[in-house]
Amino acid sequence: MKAHDGMYIGGEWRAAAGTDTIAVVDPADEQVIAHVPAGIAEDVDAAVFAAHEAFPAWAATPPAERASRIAALRDVLVARKDEIAETVTAELGAPLQFSQMVHAGVPILVAGSYAELAASYAFEEKVGNSTVYAEPVGVVGAITPWNYPLHQIVAKVAPALAAGCTVVLKPAEDTPLTAQLFAEAVYEAGIPAGVFNLVTGLGTVAGQALAAHPGVDLVSFTGSTAVGKQIGATAGAAVKRVALELGGKSANVILPSADLAKAVGVGIANVMGNSGQTCSAWTRMLVHTSQYDEAVTLAAEAAAKYGDRIGPLVNAKQHARVRGYIEKGVAEGARLVAGGPEAPRERGYFVSPTVFADVTPEMTIAQEEIFGPVVSIIRYEDEDEALRIANGTVYGLAGAVWAADDAEAVAFARRMDTGQVDINGGRFNPLAPFGGYKQSGVGRELGAHGLSEYLQTKSLQF
């Protein structure tokens, strides 16, 4: 695979400060497909400096002009969507069709939405005898994970640019090629030098240097809750703005009046897409006791049908971790009805679509984020119990509710401690704010809420 051996800083590919590299591995066959430079503190310094230099002019660029640059970026992503999908498939392992539809398709929608929002957002309003301005926060340090490698970049960079901020990105070490492609797209879109900068590298080196850099005004992080807590603490100590999109353990609540087959089928597909590596995945399926056995049969069938269509997990560490969780589920007394801990193929980091029945709410597999193709089916006796179970984790990122009519589902969803809920299989909306309650995070991404994260408020009185 094509790879750059430098960092994208100040509008050009510059030699890395150090000599170490990161090997990029195709998780489907465990082959090394490319190397990228492993950034160090000097690279981060140079990138933050470039972003800082570019900030005043970009912040002063009229929103309509920023909007047209973001629209140009969207157009480049459209023109290069096949290459993007192939790159994501090569380094993440997602099946090509999923990469085309989701990994390449969603960032196009999100970039398009910010081209429109940049042009239409009220960056200035009158409040009594004051004029209130929404001004860009400054230099953004963006740290992204590998599970939706382009979406998570665009969900930070597009609103930051719309707001008038400049950005330094440290992408996940497992998926740097998609990030390099994005940097090429930024260049092709004519976004001015220094407005977007890329430093590839390890989280513990380049990521930490970026999060702690005094020249960064806002840190936007997506990833594990463990690293998010550290980043939040570092940012807090420096009185720096921070946005955290962390883990989840979302509930798919199937009320007795729902279309059971549909709710179970969509629920299984929701988890198996991207091999379960989705922070908002509905990994706990909550079913009324009267329908429990039927739901288990339907779920096992749906998971078995997935079989070979599922991609591998991203790396050997995740592979071992997910299989360890499956073993733990068995050890704690849950009943395997599909899949299991055995690797289904000799090569590649594959895990079979796995379904557990007889899961109780306090089991490890019902509490911790597994980040693999594993669904736990939990029984409830009445709605109050379903709500207690749904709300009974440290997380609160997403969820689903199914009922005969939307009003019944909405009434339940309003009682859930979670940031986003799909009602009766509701469709993805790129303008809907996404983010967590409780330990799932701080702040929101997407839409106008996502844009406002990158703005700060100034009032002038007359």
Catalytic residue ranges: 245, 279
Residues 6+ away with beta carbon under 8 Å from 175: 24, 88, 91, 92, 146, 149, 314
Task: Taking the CA atoms of 435, 146, 177 and 229 in sequence, report the sign of the dihedral they define.
Answer: positive
**Minimum CB distance to ligand NAP, residue 245 (Å):** 6
Nearer to ligand NAP, 131 or 230 (CB): 230
Cβ–Cβ under 8 Å, residues 206 and 170: yes
Length of the chain, please? 462
Size of the site for ligand NAP (CB under 6 A): 28
Phi, psi of 393 (to 5 degrees): -130, 175
Nearer to ligand NAP, 143 or 163 (CB): 143
Per CB under 6 A, 439 contacts ligand NAP? no
The site map against ligand NAP for 367-406 (x = CB under 6 A) is --x-x-----------------------------------
**Minimum CB distance to ligand NAP, residue 170 (Å):** 6
Residues 189-248 that bind ligand NAP (CB under 6 A): 202-204, 207-208, 211, 222-224, 227, 230-231, 245-247
Distances (CA, A) of 66 to 8, 371, 383, 449: 20, 36, 49, 18
Question: Across the chain, which distance is largest between two alpha carbons, in Å?
Answer: 72
The site map against ligand NAP for 162-191 (x = CB under 6 A) is --------x-xxx-----------------
Residues β-bridged to residue 24: 34
Residues 6+ away with beta carbon under 8 Å from 204: none
The site map against ligand NAP for 75-94 (x = CB under 6 A) is --------------------
Nearer to ligand NAP, 150 or 189 (CB): 150
Per CB under 6 A, 143 contacts ligand NAP? yes
Nearer to ligand NAP, 252 or 291 (CB): 252
**Minimum CB distance to ligand NAP, residue 340 (Å):** 19
- How wide is the angle at C-alpha 441 spanned by C-alphas 137 and 104, nearest 5°? 80
Per CB under 6 A, 279 contacts ligand NAP? yes
**Minimum CB distance to ligand NAP, residue 207 (Å):** 2
Give Cα 366 to chain centroid, integer Å. 21
Give exposure, 221-247, as e/b (b: 16+ Cβ within 10 Å): bbbbbebbeebbebbeebebbbbbbbb
Residues 6+ away with beta carbon under 8 Å from 375: 267, 268, 271, 282, 283, 284, 285, 299, 303, 354, 355, 356
**Minimum CB distance to ligand NAP, residue 461 (Å):** 40
**Minimum CB distance to ligand NAP, residue 95 (Å):** 19
Residues 302-361 that bind ligand NAP (CB under 6 A): 318
Residues 6+ away with beta carbon under 8 Å from 184: none
Rounded distance between C-alpha atoms, residue 295 and residue 266, angstroms:
12
Nearer to ligand NAP, 54 or 206 (CB): 206
Residues 257-276 that bind ligand NAP (CB under 6 A): none
List of residues contacting ligand NAP (CB under 6 A): 143-147, 170, 172-174, 202-204, 207-208, 211, 222-224, 227, 230-231, 245-247, 279, 318, 369, 371
